[in-house]
Amino acid sequence: MTTLPVTEGALRAPGGPPSAVPDAAPRASLPLRWYVASALAPIVLLAAWGLLLLLNPGSTGIARIGQPAPDFVLADLDGRPLLLDDLRGRPVIVNFWASWCGPCVEEFPLLAEAQRTHRGERLVVVGIVFRDRSEAAREFIGRMGATWPAAMDPAEAVAQRYGVMGPPATFFIDPDGVVTGRQIGPLGVADLERGLAGILDEE
């Protein structure tokens, strides 16, 4: 009797996931296309940012370096109001992130360290969740040990005003409420230090 090969489609129940195959050959943890996509993501985000500015050269709603940061009023994950204007007089980092964002996992420890190091300078980090579920965002925060407030942006109104096409994206706002720096894409140590230099007192 001829033995027919078992395919993934043959093991998939209608409308359901494929059944487990015993003794299946091990797969690579991440396919090559994931690495390619990760490498291209910052380039795509920067290109989208440039296109947005090109198509809207006179827009005042997009966060620009040297200009006042667009204000926002959101609710954090506990339902408390979160207003950017309430933070006037303090250096602020606004970080757009999502639980499904790989680079965000690398950024959170850097942001936590910055907050601890510059607590005396009243640095505050504000997270804005991009296209994610509140339950997933809350679990991510707990897993990463983040202590700063995070707010949902369900209509993406804040993301649009800041010109954010996808996470991660980080904005540095000085005590006067002016955007002094931004990082579209993954935030590294050098990027963070450069951004902090623009919003912290040099004393």
Per DSSP (E only), the strands in 19-122 are: 73-75, 81-83, 92-97
Q: Is the peptide bond prior to 168 cis by the omega test (within 30 degrees of 0)? A: yes
- Tokens 């620009």 belong to residue: 64
Q: Are 72 and 87 in contact (CB under 8 A)?
A: no
Annotated domain spans of the chain: 32-197
CB-based burial label for 171 (10 Å; 0-12, 13-18, 19+): buried
| Residue 164, CA distances (Å) to 64, 70, 133, 168, 176 in order | 12, 13, 18, 9, 22
What digits encode the pLDDT tens for the residues 41-73? 555 555 554 444 444 443 445 789 999 999 999
Q: Is the pTM of this model over 0.75?
A: no
What digits encode the pLDDT tens for the residues 119-139? 999 999 999 999 999 999 999
The confidence band for 18, taking pLDDT boundaries of 50, 70 and 90, is: very low
User: What average pLDDT does range 81-109 have in this prediction?
Assistant: 97
Specify the DSSP element, H or E, that contains 37: helix 32-55
Name residues whose C-beta falls within 8 Å of residue 15's C-beta, 6 or more positions apart in sequence: none
Instruction: Please state whether 145 falls in left (phi above 0), alpha (psi between -120 and 50) or beta.
Output: left
Percentage above 70 pLDDT, the chain: 69
Cα–Cα distance for residue pair 3/66, rounded to 1 Å = 70
pLDDT at 90 over 70: yes
Tell me the pLDDT of the chain averaged across its residues: 80
Number of Cα atoms under 13 Å in the Cβ half of residue 23: 1
Check whether domain 32-197 has CATH 3.40.30.10, yes or no: yes
The dihedrals phi and psi of 168, each to the nearest 5 degrees, come to: -90, 155
